[in-house]
Amino acid sequence: MSTKPNYDPQVIEASRQQSWEQRGDFAAPKPADGQQRVYVKPSSPFTSGNLHMGHVRDYSLGDAYARFRRGRGDAVLFGFGFDAFGLPAELAAIERQEPPAEWVAECGERMLGQMRRLGFSFDYDRVFYSSDESQYRWSQWLFVTLLERDLIYRADATVDWCDTCQTTLASIQVEDGRCWRCHNEVRLIRRPTWFLRITPYLEENDRNTERLAAGGKWDDLSLATQRYILGRADGVEIDLGSGDRGLTAFTPHREFAGLASFVLLSPRHPDVEAWIGEDSVRQELERMRSGGWDRSARDARSVPVVDTGASIAGPNGSELPVVVSPIVDARFGPTAALGIPAIDEADRDVAERLERVEFSERGEGEAGPEPAPADGAREATRYRANDFSISRQRSWGTPIPVVLCEACGPVPVPEADLPVVLPRDIKPTGEGNPLAERPDFVDVDCPKCGGAAKRETDTLDCHFDALWLWVPAAVPPEDRDEQMFTHPDLREWLPSERLVAGNDSGGFVFDQRVVTKALRDIGPFDFIADGEPFAGCLFHEMVIADGRKMSKHLGNVVNPDELVSQHGADTVRLAVLYAAGPAKTLNWNDGAVRFAGRFLRGLWTYTHDRLAQLEDLEHDPEAAADTEHMRDRLRKWCENGLARITEDVEQLQMHKAIRDITRLFERIQDFEKRVVKRRGQLGRADAEAQIAALVLLGRTLVPFAPHLAEELLVTAGIEDNAEALEAWPEVVEIPVSAEAPAAS
Ligand SMILES: [Zn+2]
Ligand SMILES: [Zn+2]
């Protein structure tokens, strides 16, 4: 009698991982002719120090899909880079009093170790850090390229400033109007800031979103974020006044434009200056602009409203006061809108604050006003999405490749002089701006006139680095220095077949879609005709515990390392995938781990038992004929099960696929019970059919619990190489016939 091994995930997982690594199973291949190229893009983690359960969820989903596509014979690229610049790393470095570069390197190493331990099939040779010089050199190239096309511009913006620390603060560093570090009051200042112009591509993003929705590869969650960020409003627009006293005003209330009683102008409207006559109004507007309304333009009652004192002839001939307020931006973008308090609640809130506007309050239960469409109104659309700031006054970020010259103004650094290198030994303290205090960084000659000039000491927000963070994995590391945006492989891998990311990535994705279109028009991405970086997209919700967001403070943080050392990677992966569909918040509990562990142990023992007893069984033609119909039913169960599982995995509905796998296992056990009930025991033909069914089941389990599944397949006689083990079953081969199989 053969001894059957116990299920020891630590041993099995270490051994499988060693095989994968030695064979280089997950290196992105050079696609063969006719082979489909599939780039599965996971989210780019911040170098935060540790994987959390959200990462485990994200990468388990993406990994299952990547393994499935490999198994179907596709060329798969599954790679990512770290989002390594930015405030979290800078704050950690301040706390630990070490250069952020060191902290980032430590975190990255630790997180990569955790990923390997979980068995994620990334092409680890392609991993990169956005804070690497070879990487941010291309962020700078992108900046200069977009600047040349006027897609980046410089304008004043409001930022929080701490007088004590002599530094600008990010909004999360301001608590109740006080500095996080010294607890003194902060104030708002206006300073020149760099902006990314996204407005030229909003309409195309809008059109494409609906096309992508029809294509079926974007899930509802990801589409909802794209629509929300876009903030499309449909209605009518109407020309008021004429010449330089003219305005085109929008309203979503088609039927009631004739009832307008004022015009609301965005402070960012291109013509806003023309409407500010008196000095007092100008001062009021300045006050409003430095009032930090960017942070709080939510509630109409608290947002400032400035009456310009000017009026314009309205659609029904009456004079409409022209009023400036960022309320417009929060609803329709930087435009002009008709204020119609008679039917619009937000407009009513504004009207209540205006002396020049009268309107009658509607009583309870009173019917609304009669429709009053305006002559000359035409169909129009507005978008709330707007240009945004991409520069920060922080030292841990991509240096902005611009020299500020008193004679020439801002001058971009010539491409040949890139990268502008960030000093690696900078140790931020939270005080001042460390970059500005480094003469070796700041003092330069102007590239244009040769005179003495200063470098821009703002750095790029990591949101800017993220605009193209999906690109580098598609370029072999050795070619990135020369060909990051021109490498022929880009045409093979882009657009990415599927992005898998958390539901909070909507903003990143929206802006990545904008920049892809810009790069298409500029040239490098001319082969992406629709300018869409992701053919498909799956967003998943977060992982919580005890019904609440995990936090150290609440003491409910689930540590993936502990789970893996206790239960093994396969159990943790299976549990995370099984516990909830991607569109649902996953409320973590031990039940899922217990279920997954029980299933895997059960399958392990059952399969080993059946394999062990097979050798003792003789072929018996009479018994085989008697149970042929049962084997045929088993085959049908397998066919149905496989069809369902395949469909689920194609849609990345891994929770359903796993449920179907567990059901198929029940069917296989049920088959045995029925045969035993009829004949007292399994015949050789039955046992062979059952083993074939278990092998099929094992193959479908490879994407989810790869270590155990591969180990079982090897035990069942499948060759130990990636191609044989990963192959996704396309047809069901269960021996049904009662004929004795030819001796092999
Ligand atoms: Zn301070
Ligand atoms: Zn100059």
pLDDT digit string (tens) for 260-307? 999 999 988 888 888 888 888 888 887 777 665 544 444 556 778 999
CA of 65 to the centre of ligand 2 (A): 53
206 close to 383: Cβ distance less than 8 angstroms: yes
Residues 6+ apart with CB under 8 A from 96: 103
CA distances from 9 to 12, 15, 24, 113, 534 (A): 5, 10, 22, 17, 36
pLDDT in tens, 22-58: 999 999 998 788 899 999 999 999 998 899 999 999 9
User: What does the CA dihedral 292, 295, 299, 301 come to, rounded to 10 degrees?
Assistant: -10
CA of 94 to the centre of ligand 1 (A): 14
Q: Which residues of 287-323 are buried (b: 16+ CB within 10 A; e: fewer)?
A: ebbeebbbeebeebeebbbbbbebbbebbeeeebbbb
The ligand with the least distance to the CA atom of 177 is 1
725 close to 26: Cβ distance less than 8 angstroms: no
More confident residue, 148 or 33: 148
107 close to 88: Cβ distance less than 8 angstroms: no
CA of 297 to the centre of ligand 1 (A): 25
Cβ-in-10-Å burial (0-12, 13-18, 19+) of 1 comes to: exposed
CA of 418 to the centre of ligand 2 (A): 18
Mean pLDDT of 553-577: 95
> In angstroms, rounded to a whole number, what is the distance separating the alpha carbons of residues 515 and 406?
31
Place 168 in a pLDDT band, splitting at 50, 70 and 90: confident
Place 399 in a pLDDT band, splitting at 50, 70 and 90: very high
At 552, which amino acid appears? K
CA of 452 to the centre of ligand 2 (A): 8
CA of 446 to the centre of ligand 2 (A): 5
Mean pLDDT of 374-398: 92
The ligand with the least distance to the CA atom of 451 is 2
pLDDT in tens, 653-667: 999 999 999 999 999
CA of 173 to the centre of ligand 1 (A): 9
CA of 404 to the centre of ligand 2 (A): 8
Q: How does DSSP assign 25-93, residue by residue?
A: TTSPPPPPTTPPEEEEEE---B--SS--HHHHHHHHHHHHHHHHHHHTT-EEEE--EEB--SHHHHHHH
Q: What contacts 24+ positions apart, CB below 8 Å, involve 596-599?
A: 596/567, 596/570, 596/571, 596/572, 597/567, 597/568, 597/571, 599/574, 599/662, 599/665
Cβ-in-10-Å burial (0-12, 13-18, 19+) of 72 comes to: middle
Quote the mean pLDDT of the chain: 92
CA of 188 to the centre of ligand 1 (A): 13
Which region among 18-22, 162-166, 410-414, 520-524 has the lowest average model confidence (pLDDT)? 162-166
The ligand with the least distance to the CA atom of 180 is 1
Assigned token pair, 622: 């009479």
**Phi first, then psi: what are they for 685, rounded to 5°?**
-60, -40
> In angstroms, rounded to a whole number, what is the distance separating the alpha carbons of residues 609 and 25?
30
138 close to 159: Cβ distance less than 8 angstroms: no
CA of 541 to the centre of ligand 1 (A): 36
CA of 455 to the centre of ligand 2 (A): 12
Mean pLDDT of 139-152: 98
CA of 150 to the centre of ligand 2 (A): 20
Question: What is the three-class DSSP state of 263?
Answer: strand
pLDDT in tens, 716-743: 999 999 999 999 999 999 999 987 655 4
Note the pLDDT of residue 411: 97
CA of 731 to the centre of ligand 1 (A): 67
The ligand with the least distance to the CA atom of 410 is 2
pLDDT in tens, 667-723: 999 999 999 999 999 999 999 999 999 999 999 999 999 999 999 999 999 999 999
CA of 165 to the centre of ligand 1 (A): 4
Using omega within 30 degrees of 0 as the cis cutoff, is the peptide bond preceding 5 cis? no
Q: Which helix (H) or strand (E) holds 175?
A: strand 174-175
Note the pLDDT of residue 295: 46
User: Which of 232, 204, 226 shows the shortest CA–CA distance to 530?
Assistant: 204
The ligand with the least distance to the CA atom of 432 is 1
Neighbours of ion ligand 2 (CB under 5 A): 405, 407-408, 446, 448-449
> In angstroms, rounded to a whole number, what is the distance separating the alpha carbons of residues 410 and 457?
12
Q: Is the dihedral of CA 196, 200, 203, 204 positive or negative?
A: negative
CA of 435 to the centre of ligand 1 (A): 18
CA of 443 to the centre of ligand 2 (A): 13
CA of 303 to the centre of ligand 1 (A): 27
Q: Specify the pairing of strand 306-313 against strand 319-324.
A: antiparallel
The ligand with the least distance to the CA atom of 165 is 1
Q: Specify the pairing of strand 586-588 against strand 543-545.
A: parallel
CA of 169 to the centre of ligand 1 (A): 9
> In angstroms, rounded to a whole number, what is the distance separating the alpha carbons of residues 609 and 612?
5
Note the pLDDT of residue 282: 84
CA distances from 509 to 78, 314, 333, 485 (A): 18, 40, 20, 19
Note the pLDDT of residue 555: 86
CA angle in degrees (0–180, nearest 5) for 105-107-113 = 105
Say if residue 61's pLDDT is above 90. yes
> In angstroms, rounded to a whole number, what is the distance separating the alpha carbons of residues 280 and 284?
6
CA of 426 to the centre of ligand 1 (A): 20
Q: Which helix (H) or strand (E) holds 520?
A: helix 506-522
333 close to 386: Cβ distance less than 8 angstroms: yes
Mean pLDDT of 433-448: 93
The ligand with the least distance to the CA atom of 406 is 2
CA distances from 580 to 473, 550, 574, 585, 606 (A): 29, 17, 11, 7, 27
Mean pLDDT of 402-407: 97
CA of 439 to the centre of ligand 2 (A): 18
pLDDT in tens, 491-535: 999 999 999 999 999 999 999 999 999 999 999 999 999 999 999
CA of 431 to the centre of ligand 1 (A): 8
Note the pLDDT of residue 221: 96
The ligand with the least distance to the CA atom of 445 is 2
The ligand with the least distance to the CA atom of 447 is 2
> In angstroms, rounded to a whole number, what is the distance separating the alpha carbons of residues 530 and 432?
44
Note the pLDDT of residue 293: 53
Note the pLDDT of residue 419: 97
CA of 454 to the centre of ligand 2 (A): 10
Note the pLDDT of residue 300: 54
CA of 436 to the centre of ligand 2 (A): 19
Say if residue 93's pLDDT is above 90. no
Say if residue 166's pLDDT is above 90. no
> In angstroms, rounded to a whole number, what is the distance separating the alpha carbons of residues 731 and 452?
73
CA of 437 to the centre of ligand 2 (A): 22
Mean pLDDT of 177-196: 86
> In angstroms, rounded to a whole number, what is the distance separating the alpha carbons of residues 400 and 403?
9
169 close to 302: Cβ distance less than 8 angstroms: no
Its pTM stands at 0.93
The ligand with the least distance to the CA atom of 187 is 1
Place 744 in a pLDDT band, splitting at 50, 70 and 90: very low
Place 98 in a pLDDT band, splitting at 50, 70 and 90: confident
The ligand with the least distance to the CA atom of 405 is 2
